[in-house]
């Protein structure tokens, strides 16, 4: 989705930046992990396939993707050394463009359990509500991923279905006016900035 290609959302713990070709090698490294393949129901891809996927996510109108960076490291360190995961919003219901399926992955084990996933999800949800007109969120999570299921329930999602075939739980949140106000309050610290303005010059070394 091209709407967010110059958007940076800076929170307290995490910063969301557009997924670019420069992020693909690190992302590809993450996805060699059998644990992450299982948790994300993903098949391993070649590096070239991963680049093709990145271009698809950038260009397709029904996908909005951000890379999650550690706000304590970036700006300052190189982006690829600050990456901790990604967050995605899929507009997959052609009959209702106000439905967004949200996915969050904190790939770096050292960054799990520190609130990074929660803040990244809140930032993406607020962006979806404000910029994309989303009024209903869904999350499909593997039954074994109890930490993720628990996190979404803390964000007011309700369990609406369980698939024994796919071994996944579907959670849903209808964004009422009350939920919208709560979401905007939770993210009122967020700064929206230009990615072009923040990007470090090529060749800048880590400090």
Taking only the tens place, the pLDDT of each residue in 43-78 is 777 888 888 888 887 888 899 999 999 999 998 899
CA-angle at 41, arms to 37 and 42, nearest 5° = 55
Per-residue pLDDT, 51: 87
DSSP string spanning 122-179?
HHHHHHHHHHH---EEEEEEETT-HHHHHHHHHTT-EEEEEETTTTEEEEEEE--HHH
Per-residue pLDDT, 9: 98
Taking only the tens place, the pLDDT of each residue in 182-193 is 999 999 999 999
Report which of residues 109 and 199 the model is more confident about: 109
Per-residue pLDDT, 205: 46
Yes or no: say if 168 and 196 are a contact pair by the CB < 8 Å rule.
no
Q: CB under 8 Å to 146, separation ≥6 — which residues?
A: none
The least confident of 60-64, 80-84, 157-161, 199-203 is 199-203
Question: Would the pLDDT of 207 be above 70?
Answer: no
Per-residue pLDDT, 89: 96
pTM more than 0.85: yes
60 three-class SS: coil
Per-residue pLDDT, 201: 56
Token digits for 160?
Answer: 């609406």
User: Which residue reads 């949200």 in tokens?
Assistant: 102
Q: CB under 8 Å to 142, separation ≥6 — which residues?
A: 38, 39, 41, 167, 168, 169
CA-to-CA distance for 24 and 51, rounded, in angstroms? 6
């Amino acid at each position: 989705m091209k709407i967010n290609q110059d958007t940076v959302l800076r929170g307290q713990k995490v910063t969301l930046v557009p997924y670019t070709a420069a992020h693909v090698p690190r992302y590809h490294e993450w996805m060699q992990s059998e644990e992450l393949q299982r948790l994300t129901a993903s098949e391993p891809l070649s590096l070239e396939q991963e680049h093709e996927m990145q271009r698809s996510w950038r260009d397709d109108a029904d996908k909005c993707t951000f890379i999650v960076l550690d706000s304590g490291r970036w700006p300052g360190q190189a982006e690829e050394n600050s990456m901790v995961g990604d967050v995605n919003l899929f507009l997959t219901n052609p009959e209702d463009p106000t439905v967004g399926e949200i996915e969050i992955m904190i790939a770096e084990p050292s960054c799990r359990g520190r609130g990074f996933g929660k803040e990244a999800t809140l930032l993406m949800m607020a962006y979806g509500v404000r910029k994309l007109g989303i009024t209903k969120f869904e999350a499909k999570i593997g039954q074994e991923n109890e930490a993720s299921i628990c996190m979404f329930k803390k964000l007011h999602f309700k369990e609406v279905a369980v698939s024994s075939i796919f071994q996944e739980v579907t959670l849903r949140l209808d964004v009422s006016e009350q939920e919208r106000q709560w979401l905007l309050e939770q993210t009122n610290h967020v700064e929206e900035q230009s990615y072009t303005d923040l990007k470090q010059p090529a060749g800048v070394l880590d400090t």
